[in-house]
Amino acid sequence: MLELRKADQRGVANHGWLRSRHTFSFGHYHDPKQQGFSDLLVINDDRVDPAQGFGTHPHRDMEIFSYVLEGALAHQDSMGTGSVIRPGDVQMMSAGTGVRHSEFNHSKTEGVHFLQIWIVPSVKGAAPRYQQVHFSDAKKRGQLRLIASPEGTDGSLGVHQDMRMYAGLFDGAESTALDISPDRYAYVHVARGSVEVNGEKLSEGDGVRIRDERQLRFAKGDHAEVLVFDLRPLERPTM
Per-residue pLDDT band for 237 (boundaries 50, 70, 90) equals confident
pLDDT at 82: 87
Q: What percent of the chain has pLDDT over 90?
A: 90
Report whether pLDDT(210) > 60: yes
User: What is the Cα–Cα distance from 73 to 111, expressed in whole angstroms?
Assistant: 10
User: What is the Cα–Cα distance from 47 to 162, expressed in whole angstroms?
Assistant: 30
The domain defined by 2-231 folds into Jelly Rolls (2.60.120)
pLDDT at 239: 53
Report whether pLDDT(55) > 90: no
Average pLDDT in the chain: 95
Per-residue pLDDT band for 17 (boundaries 50, 70, 90) equals very high
Nearest by Cα to 62 from 11, 115, 149, 126: 126
| 3-state secondary structure string across 32-48 | CCCCCECCEEEEEEEEE
Strand ranges of the sheet holding 73-77, from the earlier edge strand across to the other edge? 53-59, 99-105, 73-77, 82-85
Which segments of the chain does DSSP mark as H helices, in order?
A: 137-140
Per-residue pLDDT tens over the stretch 179-192:
999 999 999 999 99
Please enumerate in sequence order all residues whose Cβ is within 8 A of that of 86, keeping only pairs 6 or more positions apart, or say none. Answer: 68, 71, 72, 73
User: What is the Cα–Cα distance from 83 to 75, expressed in whole angstroms?
Assistant: 5
Per-residue pLDDT tens over the stretch 87-118:
999 999 999 999 998 898 999 999 999 999 99
Hey, CA dihedral for 116, 117, 120, 122, is it positive or negative? negative
Per-residue pLDDT band for 42 (boundaries 50, 70, 90) equals very high
* Residues 42-46, mean pLDDT to the nearest whole number: 98
- pTM value is 0.96
- The distance of Cα 88 from the centroid of its chain, to the nearest Å, equals 13
pLDDT at 238: 65
Per-residue pLDDT tens over the stretch 134-170:
999 999 999 999 999 999 999 999 999 999 999 999 9
Please enumerate in sequence order all residues whose Cβ is within 8 A of that of 181, keeping only pairs 6 or more positions apart, or say none. Answer: none
Whether the CB-CB separation of 215 and 209 falls below 8 Å is answered with no
Rounded alpha-carbon distances, angstroms, from residue 166 to 9, 10, 98, 113, 210 = 24, 22, 27, 19, 15
| Structural domain spans, the chain | 2-231
